[in-house]
Amino acid sequence: GTHCVISKYIFEEEDERCLPLYRSVPQARGKALLLVIILGFGGNFQSGYHLTSLSSPTPFIQSFINSSWYERWKEVPSPETVTLLWSFIVASFAIGGFCGCLCVKFITAIMGRKKGVICSGCIAVVAAVIMLSSKPAKSFEMIIVARILAGFSAGFGWSLHIMYLSEISPKSIRGRVTITSANFTSLGGFVGQLLGLSEILGREDLWNVALSVNACFSVLLVLVFPFLPESPRYLFIEKGDKEACRKALQTLWGPGSYKQEMDEMLIEQERIDAVGRKNPLQLLKDRTVWLQLVTIVLIYWFNQTSGMSVITTFSFDIFMQSGVPENMIRYVTLGLGVCQFITSMFSSFLIERIGRRPLVWGGYAAMCTSWVVVTILLNVKGLSDWVSYISAAMIILILVFFAGGPAVGTLCGEIFIQSDRMAASAIVGMLRWLAIAVMTFSFPFLINSLGSYTFVLLACFCLLAFLYTFFILPETKGKTIVEITEEFKAIMVCRKSSSEETSDTMMSRV
């Protein structure tokens, strides 16, 4: 049959799905792989690390709060005070993430994508220095400041990471490239759990080192990223520099004209010129993207309220509640990280084969069922010792189901055109970090009040997520951003037409 060559990728036109003849990601002769790796370790790796690294030193930091409080005021703080301070330390990371997402549009408008990433890395290094100093300074307030700064860097970097990946990759492998953000989040979580082992950094004298060692990758990002190219799509659409865009594509993917990619950017640019660029407030008022906005907001909200943020942050407390012996919890938690990372990597190969949609709704359906089973097991854990380990296995399975559907990480860069993407990323990012803050702050109080029935609440969120993604979310695999936008418009038109037909039928009956 005939073949078409797109940016060095060969496809069989006779196959309706246009599957690559070379089943693995083709070898790029440019710096794309280096950029993905450096951006990954300096971006979402940091977020994953911070979400899990706080689990192992939990008792050490609570003890540090006690001792610091006593040295200052010569009295022992009440358990409620310690719980409140501990909850705020945990949630402060998400508060910083919220602020980081709030500022992403403003900062990138001044600096651009590339300098914004470097700025994020510098903030992460400052946060690590403050965290290292908190223990000798005997100040739990410094832990809070460090966590807020680290969260700001993670929130800002999270938005840029996904956006950068979606803007540098051809649509044929956009899903595989963008999903690496989820892979690095999982890898960061695993490394945070690994270093938290008592044999490595999970000791009382090293907890501040464990919470700051990840900044080594931020230093690497700051040193290397200046030599990597700016986002081609940003150069073409935002700056109008077609030649710089072509050079960036060639630097990333090797020699070539890249005419098709640039033609797609031109179509998108014409669309942007017709509708204009939007800030978050204008995007919220725009009825033409209402369904995209509702979809992405709900998916990212359910992403966090499904229980992932509490599993990664409070794994120590959850496994204690499950009845796992305290000396075994760190090793069970490490298994949690290994399973999440392996599943996330496996999903990278599935996403371009079966699509985003089945991974998302299938994952939420399995998670809902698993949370119900966990609740039942926790209520009968006294029957036998093995019940505790089955509960732990089910919690690991929940994380596997979640990691098996990380395609939500690709959606924000796929369903909004360039003029809307930055505003959408800011809105979604703020909501994501707000959800993390709410969940991480409230979970200690919920588990004290509701016990195992807290997980029924998480199951309800998973059920709602399944229903929405199954019935509403369209597939985005192998489609241009303009095509996806038109599909959302078609869904809105169909629903509007259906509503009008129902109204007309009722009127005729009257």
pLDDT reported for residue 23? 35
**476: which DSSP letter?**
-
Q: What is the pLDDT of residues 270-296, one digit of tens each?
A: 877 776 677 788 888 888 888 888 888
Of the pLDDT bands very low, low, confident and very high (cuts 50, 70, 90), residue 318 is confident
- The DSSP line for 327-370 is HHHHHHHHHHHHHHHHHHHHHHHHHHHH-HHHHHHHHHHHHHHH
**Helix, strand or coil for residue 258?**
coil
The model's pTM:
0.75
Q: Tell me: domain 31-228+276-479, CATH 1.10.1670.40, correct? A: no
**Helix, strand or coil for residue 3?**
strand
CA distance 74 to 72: 6
Q: At residue 420, does pLDDT exceed 60?
A: yes
Strand-pair partners of 4: 11
Tell me the two tokens of residue 181: 């953000």
Which residue, chain included where needed, has tokens 């300074």?
A: 137
Tell me the H-state helices in 25-78. 32-42, 44-53, 58-73
pLDDT reported for residue 147? 95
pLDDT reported for residue 312? 77
3-state helix/strand/coil string of 260-282: HHHHHHHHHHHHHHHHCCCCHHH
Q: What is the pLDDT of residues 83-94, one digit of tens each?
A: 889 889 988 998
Least confident of 204-213, 338-347, 366-375: 338-347
Q: At residue 366, does pLDDT exceed 80?
A: yes
Q: What is the pLDDT of residues 453-485, one digit of tens each?
A: 889 999 999 999 999 988 888 877 777 777 887
